[in-house]
């Protein structure tokens, strides 16, 4: 379930700690939800740290099976296969995440839209990066007719979902990975971990401090330089998510086609190279990053500056780096 496949470089400057009571840093990786998941924890010994990290991996695998479009037994697959004929009842957890997407869609003027499934299937960027096939205008127009939250009917009483148009499909790729990151942090905190990072392909959340008492340093991927960094943040108790046009894309006839689609046009949007959102929960950061990316730098940053709980770093199509009011003086921009 690789939507966005964000790539943030985590710069962990660990200081060797002489006091064992402060713990040490341990890190493990696994491939989950179509991306590399890196979990970093501060703990007293490697065995305990490993067990706690494995619990995070298990939870993320569970969420992938529950909400992934490609998982045939998932709630989303059940909805997409049958909700045009009759209401489909799903688990409370999935239903809540669908509900959570609605206010974000409204706030981003419909640019974050979980009914974009017919369009993401049409472009099929997971496989199309090598084939470089551009759907016809007619195909895109037909798929566009199948999107829109107004055709999605939710019944909170029995957690059911109904499509009002035949051929609709949900895609939680823009929010489920962030939710899985939040659940990972909750599991670590419940297990007594005092500091760490859960990073699912760039959808990440940081909490606590390093063994030396310092905060975590997070590098934001340069959208045009492989393994390059465009900015550095030093923070904790925050989620950081980036949507970029450099993750799944192809260039044909000099034009870049990527996986972040404008629900209004059905085409990849062209006004940003990347959008990084900083807030408290990865679920919200994940969805908002997509919506702001599609809205574009001017309108998107305007909305961010009106919301105290969100901050953003936007790299425009020309490579200009814009920083929201709340992050000014707190981010080190390395270069455009």
Assigned domain for 7 exists: no
CA–CA separation, 235 and 214 (whole Å): 9
Q: What pLDDT was estimated at residue 11?
A: 43
Question: Phi and psi for 22 in degrees, rounded to 5?
Answer: -80, -10
Confidence class for position 272, pLDDT limits 50, 70, 90: very high
Question: Six-digit token pair at 167?
Answer: 């051929």
Residue that has been written with the tokens 């455009």 in this structure: 336
Asked if 297 contacts 304 with a C-beta cutoff of 8 angstroms, the reply is no
Q: What is the mean pLDDT of residues 17-33?
A: 79
* Domain of residue 135, CATH code: 1.10.3980.10
Interval 255-283 mean pLDDT: 96
- Predicted confidence at residue 86, as pLDDT, reads 95
4 confidence band (pLDDT: 50, 70, 90): very low
pLDDT of 30 reads 98
* Domain-located, residue 263: no
Q: Within a domain: residue 123? A: yes
What domain range includes position 153? 69-163
pLDDT at 8 over 90: no
The average confidence (pLDDT) of the chain is 91
Count up the domains in the chain and report the number: 1
Residue 22 confidence class, pLDDT cut points 50, 70, 90: confident
The pLDDT-based confidence of 336 (bands split at 50, 70, 90) is low
Task: Please state the rounded mean pLDDT for residues 85-101.
Answer: 97
Instruction: Grade residue 21 by pLDDT with cuts at 50, 70 and 90.
Output: low
**Residue 107, domain member (yes or no):** yes
Query: Does residue 143 fall inside a structural domain?
Result: yes
pLDDT per residue over 142-178, tens digit each? 999 999 999 999 999 999 999 999 999 999 999 999 9
On whether residue 130 sits in a domain, the answer given is: yes
Model confidence at 20: pLDDT above 80: no
Half-sphere exposure of 160 (CA within 13 A, CB side): 13
Question: Is the pLDDT reported for residue 241 higher than 60?
Answer: yes
pLDDT of residue 122: 96
Residue 139 pLDDT greater than 90, yes or no: yes
Instruction: Please indicate, yes or no, if residue 279 is contained in any of the structural domains.
Output: no
335 lies in some domain: no
Query: Range with the lowest mean pLDDT among 45-49, 101-105, 187-191, 201-205?
Result: 201-205
Residue 171's Cα: distance from chain center in Å? 12
For 278-300, write each residue's pLDDT tens digit: 999 999 999 999 999 999 999 99
Smallest CA-to-CA distance from 187 within 177, 198, 199 is with 198
The confidence score (pLDDT) of residue 77 equals 96
| Average pLDDT of the residues in 182-203 | 96
pLDDT mean over 1-10:
41
Contacts 24+ apart (CB under 8 A), 84-92: 84/163, 84/165, 84/166, 84/167, 84/168, 86/162, 87/153, 87/155, 87/158, 87/160, 87/161, 87/162, 88/160, 88/161, 88/162, 89/158, 89/159, 89/160, 90/159, 90/160, 90/161, 91/66, 91/159, 92/159
């Amino acid at each position: 379930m690789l939507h966005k496949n964000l790539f943030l470089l985590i710069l962990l400057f660990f200081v060797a700690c002489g006091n064992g009571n402060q713990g040490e840093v341990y890190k493990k990786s696994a491939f989950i939800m179509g991306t590399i998941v890196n979990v970093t924890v501060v703990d007293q010994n490697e065995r305990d740290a490993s067990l706690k990290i494995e619990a995070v991996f298990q939870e993320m695998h569970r969420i992938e099976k529950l909400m992934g479009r490609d998982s045939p037994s998932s709630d989303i697959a059940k909805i997409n296969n049958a909700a045009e004929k009759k209401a489909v009842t799903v688990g409370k957890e999935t239903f809540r995440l669908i509900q959570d997407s609605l206010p974000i869609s409204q706030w981003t003027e419909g640019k974050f839209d979980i009914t974009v499934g017919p369009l993401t299937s049409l472009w099929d960027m997971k496989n199309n990066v090598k084939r470089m096939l551009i759907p016809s205008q007619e195909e895109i127009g037909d798929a566009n007719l199948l999107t829109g939250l107004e055709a999605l009917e939710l019944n909170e009483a029995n957690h059911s979902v109904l499509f009002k148009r035949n051929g609709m499909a949900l895609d939680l790729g823009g929010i489920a990975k962030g939710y899985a990151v939040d659940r990972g942090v909750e599991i670590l905190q419940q297990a007594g971990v005092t500091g760490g990072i859960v990073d699912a392909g760039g959808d990440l959340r940081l909490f606590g401090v390093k063994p030396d008492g310092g905060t975590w340093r997070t590098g934001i991927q340069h959208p045009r330089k492989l393994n390059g960094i465009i900015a550095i943040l030093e923070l904790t108790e925050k989620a950081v998510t980036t949507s970029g046009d450099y993750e799944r894309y192809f260039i044909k006839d000099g034009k870049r086609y990527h996986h972040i689609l404008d629900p209004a046009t059905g085409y990849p949007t062209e006004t940003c190279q990347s959008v990084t959102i900083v807030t408290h929960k990865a679920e919200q950061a994940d969805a908002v990053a997509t919506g702001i990316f599609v809205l574009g730098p001017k309108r998107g940053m305007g909305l961010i500056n009106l919301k105290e709980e969100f901050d953003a770093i936007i790299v425009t199509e020309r490579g200009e780096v814009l920083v929201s009011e709340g992050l000014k003086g707190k981010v080190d921009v390395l270069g455009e």
